[in-house]
Chains A and B, each alone.
Chain A
Amino acid sequence: MNEPERGPAPKTGGLFHWFDQRTGIDEILRKSLDEPIPGGARFAYVFGSALLLVFISQVITGAFLALYYVPSADHAHTTVAYIMKQVSAGSFLRSIHAYGSSAMVILLLLHVTQTFLYGSYKGRRELLWLSGCVLFALALCMAFTGYLLPWDQKAYFATVVGTNIAGEIPFVGAWIKNAMRGGVDMGTLTLSRFFVAHVFLVPAAIFSFIALHVYMFRKAGAAGPIHEDPLTPKLPPETFYPRQVVIDALFALVIIAVLAVLSQFLPFDLGPKANPADTRYLPRPEWYYIPIFQYLRYWPSSLSFLGVVVIPGVVAFLFASLPFLDRRMERRPWKRPIAVGAYVFILLALFGLGAVSYRNDRLDPAFATQLLAQQKAAEEFSQQPFELEVSQTSLASSSAAPTDPLVVAGEKLYQAQSCGACHGDTGAGTAAAPKLAGIKTRFSAAALAALLRTPSAKMTAGGMTPVTLPDPDLAALIDYLNSLK
């Protein structure tokens, strides 16, 4: 009865026909575009597809950023600075990606709020709702893990605080914290872990749960407006295509435009490189974590079990089990005062906590000046031209310059005799000749001298020529060789 009318099969070209016979694309397109929406297309339904759009944008920009990014404590910040300051469109793409996480959180809130107020989780939609809850948590994981990757001051200190919070959990907290950090302290292993989570593990989970979520959605069907029966829709349906598609597309354009304008004219900042020794730095998470951050401040460590585990756990559990608890088919929000009241209370509480946090930071003069200084430092760093990182190997060779005069003399001889041409600049060995570093452990000075004067047959065959230096010089050379590590 409510099946929407389908037009006759279009006369399609030979190529489309060929392709369709092999893929069934026509059927797939029809199925997805002709999805019935009871009561017709509405702006209120755009947030799900908008989330998908932003997620795809995050995947694409993220993959491109990985062309230059290196996840290691000594290169991460340089490579992000390189992206921001050198690479064409780098500042733009990174800003799209960074602002994209905020867009994601905003759209998530809108999507959940719409679902909640419309009671769209009712009517055999428990698994649809649960898969959505998992996606919500995964998106927050993405925001948390991605935040550390630039390895600037705010990223570093926000993650110190974030992992410390996990450490507050009784009994297992310390273990969880160390597992997240890859050790007791934050360091390059933390960065690798966050990178792997951000780039491989969490996205893989998100892909699977999006597939599940969309499948469950199609299985249950669109729930329609608040006065619709969620199980057996009565309102005349309208197909997804064309009106809902057009509305979704227009909203997508708005999101793209907002992200693009923000990224172009207000690029996301990059502060100075993380300095763990900076004890004055005031950590502040990204805005969407500020309310939680403020909430956790109210709990003394004696009550942390209650504040960090029990209360958030109960709230999350109640939230996830909503479709199991609220089993009536009533969808109008004003007829569901408890559920809607609780939801509005939590939203208001989060807004309130956020506002208190910002107000405290503004009113405390010490905080205000320090936060301003941090902001200034980040802006200044963003203005400075990019500085190439000096490669570690050359740093090592210049800082590890030998000081023993005999060794210094030996090094000169090593260079003058071109030993390095085959054995490597610092005796590291090359394809042509073995390494000399650590030779001390294999030969005594006397044995080495004898070998240098009259190389073995094997050495000669490899291109080694006898050393014809006077004895004192040979001794210096051997001293130098023995100093190589």
Chain B
Amino acid sequence: MTPPITDATGAPTQHTRRSYLGWLLGLCSAGVSAILAVPLIRFALYPLTAKTTETKWSDIGPSADFQEITTPIQRLINVEQVDGWRKQISDKVVYVTKTTGGETCVLSSVCPHLGCSVQWAVAQHQFVCPCHGATFGIDGARLGGPAPRAMDRLDSKVEADRLIVRYRYFRQLVPGKEVIG
């Protein structure tokens, strides 16, 4: 800071004293405002720091039921989607089946082509989409038809002896698996 301007008697001029006070007041109010802004910013940015949209894990059934499966089992699950202060509950169809390696996996029944519900055709021993005839193997691998990729595998795990799954939607008509919600 510049030294205070003084008049003939050596006393600081009124202007200078007022300027210092002005700076002090300005600084203090800036400080107080900054402190008060903290809760406002935390409030406004809450959705960025907390999970305000998520899909909860849904229960499929006791894991023992799926130990010895030879054909895919169709199950209806309750999907709970959290959206801010509300949740949507919807029923979705999934298939519990086996990978070629023999481990249990859960497939979404939504066809990766245009979204129809894929069915297990017992006679053909494969999944068939009723809309445009895409076919998939027992593990969901793409066999034929217009589908651009295999059936979509969902995250699943066994917790407290129950098989649970996290339901997701994936973008249709693209060769890669892209989560869209």
Instruction: Spell out A's residues near B (CB within 8 Å).
Output: 5, 7-8, 10, 60-61, 64, 67-68, 75, 78-79, 81-82, 86-90, 92-93, 241-242, 245-246, 249, 253, 256, 386, 388-391, 393-394, 397-398, 415-418, 420-422, 425, 432, 463, 465
Contact = CB atoms under 8 A, between A and B. Distances in A.
29 contacts: A10-B15, A60-B40, A64-B43, A75-B85, A78-B85, A78-B86, A81-B85, A82-B84, A86-B50, A88-B49, A89-B38, A89-B42, A89-B43, A92-B39, A241-B22, A242-B18, A242-B22, A249-B25, A249-B28, A253-B32, A391-B87, A398-B89, A416-B117, A420-B117, A421-B110, A422-B114, A432-B114, A463-B114, A465-B130
A477 to B, nearest CB: 13
Interface in B1-40: 13-15, 18-19, 21-22, 25, 28-29, 32, 36, 38-40
B116 interface: yes
B124 interface: no
Given A82-B84, A88-B49, A390-B87, A64 B44 contact: yes
Q: Classify the secondary structure of B's interface with A.
A: mixed
Contacts of B49: 88
B85 A389 contact: yes
B143 interface: no
A64 B39 CA distance: 10
B73 interface: no
A342 to B, nearest CB: 40
Interface centre among B18, B50, B82 (most CB of A within 10 A): B18
Contacts of A420: 117
Nearest to A388: B87
Contacts of B43: 64, 67, 87-90, 93
A299 B29 CA distance: 50
Contacts of B141: none
A349 B132 CA distance: 82
B46 A391 contact: no
B46 A88 contact: yes
B100 interface: no
B58 interface: no
Contact of B18 (A61, A81, A241): A241
